């Protein structure tokens, strides 16, 4: 399921009710043959099954914050996920497990957990999209990933026509990935999160967040302080959706941070010797994760770099590609993404890979 909001993007007014642009935060995408809305897990399954019975391709769309849809749209049925709510399904003295409907707006859930004194999601404040999309992408920000708190996912298995519960260990969580990403087999229906009963955040792992909070890495802070600071940092980078700010008309980070084997990393260091040390973080085994934003900027694509038809790199964040005009075609955004990818490869020998799901378009 793509990462989408419950309602059309504010300010978007489609002339064709099947146009998909209003259902994506990029405000891009052509028409679907058919649009269906599902407001419960049972209805999601039924709508998908009905489309399959018509031998139609199916695209499941929740909030549109992590999807790029081509100008030709989608030649099939798009099921809009609009299920809502969460409930406690298990608890003890130290933890609480909540089952969240796939269409629940993510930041609403984070706000509710912070208010209740449940720790584990606070650093993911302000991330756009739906709860059901978070395991697909293994959403992460400011030192937290949902893989750390997810204990299970309920999904419709289109291959076998059954609803199954998948334990976290079987979800294949990886950096910005899972078994659900790039697969048509699974339709996420609900997600279970196990959270700590604590008024304090988890240990602050992200140096930028620690500095903004005035604490050391590893310290804990009140949940509300962590949430407010993350929201402020994200807003300063154009990463909190705002109908009046074209810098937020994006899918957030467009490229993932490259993960390089040690030999490839050393080659990068040689090619970047005149620019200083590339920001990097050691990973499991002998791999290194490198800052995609640094590579993009040093390859000559700074904040505000403009492409065709009013698409541009955000003026606030190098990793965000924006439809600033609100009237561009997906082809224009794709052209800018290719220019950046090719420029980074030419300069540093590193290939960037897109983070969002691409529907009928190729970078």
Q: How confident is the model at residue 13 (pLDDT cuts 50, 70, 90)?
A: very low
- pLDDT, tens digit, for every residue of 43-88? 999 999 999 999 999 999 998 999 999 999 999 999 999 999 999 9
Q: How confident is the model at residue 8 (pLDDT cuts 50, 70, 90)?
A: very low
- pLDDT, tens digit, for every residue of 256-270? 999 999 999 999 999
3-state secondary structure of 182: coil
Query: Which pLDDT value is given to residue 285?
Result: 83
Q: Which residues are catalytic?
A: 176, 253, 355
Task: Give me the mean pLDDT over the 223-230 stretch.
Answer: 98
Q: Distance between CA 318 and CA 234 in Å, rounded? A: 13
Output the DSSP codes for 113-162. HHHTTEESSGGGTT--SBGGGHHHHT-EETTEEGGGTEEEEEEEETTTTE
**pLDDT at residue 251 above 50?**
yes
Query: Which pLDDT value is given to residue 170?
Result: 97
Task: Give me the mean pLDDT over the 114-140 stretch.
Answer: 96
Q: What is the pTM of this model?
A: 0.88
Q: How confident is the model at residue 16 (pLDDT cuts 50, 70, 90)?
A: low
Inter-residue contact 141 to 17 (CB < 8 Å): no
Q: How many residues does this entry show for the chain?
A: 363
Mean pLDDT of the chain: 93
- pLDDT, tens digit, for every residue of 271-289? 999 999 999 988 888 899 9
Task: Give me the mean pLDDT over the 144-164 stretch.
Answer: 97
């Amino acid at each position: 399921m793509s990462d989408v909001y419950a309602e059309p993007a504010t300010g978007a007014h489609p002339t064709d009710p099947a146009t998909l642009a209003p259902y994506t935060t990029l405000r891009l995408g052509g028409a679907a043959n058919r649009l269906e809305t599902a407001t419960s897990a049972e209805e999601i399954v039924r709508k998908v099954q009905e489309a399959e019975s018509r031998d139609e391709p199916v695209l499941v769309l929740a909030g549109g914050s992590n999807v790029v849809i081509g100008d030709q749209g989608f030649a099939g049925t798009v099921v809009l996920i609009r299920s809502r709510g969460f409930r406690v399904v298990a608890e003890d003295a130290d933890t609480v497990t909540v089952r969240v409907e796939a269409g629940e707006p993510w930041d609403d859930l984070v706000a509710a957990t912070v208010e209740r004194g449940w720790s584990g999601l606070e650093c993911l404040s302000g991330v756009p999209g739906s709860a059901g999309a978070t395991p697909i992408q293994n959403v992460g920000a400011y030192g937290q990933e949902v893989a750390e708190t997810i204990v299970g996912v309920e999904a419709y298995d289109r291959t076998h026509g059954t609803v199954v519960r998948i334990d976290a260990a079987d979800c294949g969580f990886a950096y910005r990935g899972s078994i659900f990403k790039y697969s048509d087999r699974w339709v996420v229906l609900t997600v279970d999160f196990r959270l700590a009963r604590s008024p304090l955040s988890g240990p602050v792992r992200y140096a930028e967040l620690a500095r903004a909070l005035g604490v050391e890495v590893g310290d804990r802070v009140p949940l509300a302080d962590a949430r407010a600071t993350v929201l402020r940092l994200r807003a300063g980078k154009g990463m909190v959706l705002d109908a009046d700010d074209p810098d937020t008309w994006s899918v957030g980070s467009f490229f993932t941070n490259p993960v390089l084997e040690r030999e490839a990393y050393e080659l990068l260091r040689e090619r970047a010797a005149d620019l200083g040390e590339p920001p990097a973080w050691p990973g499991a085994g002998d791999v290194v994760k490198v800052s995609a934003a640094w590579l993009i900027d040093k390859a000559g694509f700074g904040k505000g770099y403009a492409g065709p038809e009013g698409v541009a790199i955000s003026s606030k964040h190098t990793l965000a590609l924006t439809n600033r005009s609100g009237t561009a075609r997906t082809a224009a955004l794709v052209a800018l993404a290719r220019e950046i990818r090719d420029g980074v490869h030419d300069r540093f020998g590193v290939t960037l890979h897109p983070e969002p799901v691409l529907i009928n378009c190729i970078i």
